[in-house]
A and B are shown apart, each in its own frame.
Chain A
Amino acid sequence: EVLLVESGGRVVQPGGSLRLTCVVSGVSLEQYAVHWVRQVPGRGLEWISLLSWDGGSTYYADSVKGRFTISRDTDNNSLFLQMDNLRADDTALYHCAKANGGIYYYSMDVWGKGTPVTVS
């Protein structure tokens, strides 16, 4: 069974930094791309970032480009989201998600339950 468990969310002041962690089990991060997606309370889903299966390419939503950085540790099969210069509108529940295989990597077939971030 593939499981993704996020951690690291907490209350942080505007302008502060936070690092989220997503521990993956049941599959190797070296085989699949991975995403971060957030959900603002009472609102919909927003894609944040994508890391390619080989770790060589990263992509970001315009709303976080230049402030957030996605990375991974293949030895520990973990994904990270470094969030700097946080703003109030970054307040959300942050999910990591495993990408579907092959050319369908844009879709997310296994999700974590999320970790809450509050910027206030």
Chain B
Amino acid sequence: EIVMTQSPDTLSVSLGDRASLSCRASQTVTSDLAWYQHKPGQAPRLLIYAASRRAPGVPDRFSGSLSGTDFTLTISSLQSDDFAVYYCQHYNSWPPRITFGGGTKVE
């Protein structure tokens, strides 16, 4: 079973900071990974899919990358609207499984 581990649990930042959120797979995986932003009381929002493709309407300050088994979501310059919980989600094609990481709260 593939486990996706996000770190840190909480990231304390200031407006304008650069933020890097990590999502590490427990074994070698494909680039079938998405990132979501989740704010209290709202539905999650897709930010990134296929590790680095931005979803339509997502600002270009959000970017995704992959190095080995480490996925990273980078927010280049934090805006007030970016304070939220961020989840990574991986897809394993066989057996078909979708796994979310535990989330990183950006505060």
Apart from the given pairs A106-B34, A109-B55, 12 other A-B contacts in the complex at a CB distance below 8 Å: A35-B98, A45-B38, A45-B89, A47-B98, A50-B98, A100-B55, A106-B89, A107-B50, A107-B91, A109-B46, A111-B43, A113-B43
Chain A: minimal CB distance from B27 (Å)? 17
Q: Are A106 and B103 in contact (CB under 8 A)?
A: no
For the complex of A and B, the 6 pairs showing the least CB-CB separation, nearest first, are: A106-B91, A111-B43, A107-B34, A47-B98, A107-B49, A59-B96
A111 to B38, CA, bound (A): 11
- Which B residues are in CB contact (< 8 Å) with A61? 97-98
Does A112 have its Cβ within 8 Å of any Cβ on chain B? yes
Q: Are B100 and A107 in contact (CB under 8 A)?
A: no
With beta carbons under 8 angstroms apart, the residue of B34, B43, B101 that contacts A95 is B43
Q: Are B43 and A104 in contact (CB under 8 A)?
A: no
Q: Are B34 and A44 in contact (CB under 8 A)?
A: no
Name which residue of chain A comes closest to B98, CB basis: A47
Q: Are A100 and B46 in contact (CB under 8 A)?
A: yes
Q: Are A104 and B98 in contact (CB under 8 A)?
A: no
- Using an 8 Å CB-CB cutoff, how does the interface string of B40-64 with A read, 1 for contact, 0 for none? 0011111001100101000000000
Q: Are B103 and A108 in contact (CB under 8 A)?
A: no
Interface residues of A: mostly helix, strand, loop or mixed? strand
- Using an 8 Å CB-CB cutoff, how does the interface string of B57-98 with A read, 1 for contact, 0 for none? 000000000000000000000000000000101010000111
Chain A contributes a number of interface residues (CB within 8 A of B) equal to: 21
Chain B contributes a number of interface residues (CB within 8 A of A) equal to: 24
Q: Are B49 and A111 in contact (CB under 8 A)?
A: no
Q: Are B87 and A44 in contact (CB under 8 A)?
A: yes
- Which B residues are in CB contact (< 8 Å) with A45? 36, 38, 44, 87, 89, 100, 103
Q: Are B32 and A106 in contact (CB under 8 A)?
A: yes
Name which residue of chain A comes closest to B103, CB basis: A44
Does B10 have its Cβ within 8 Å of any Cβ on chain A? no
Q: Are B98 and A106 in contact (CB under 8 A)?
A: yes
Chain A: minimal CB distance from B86 (Å)? 11
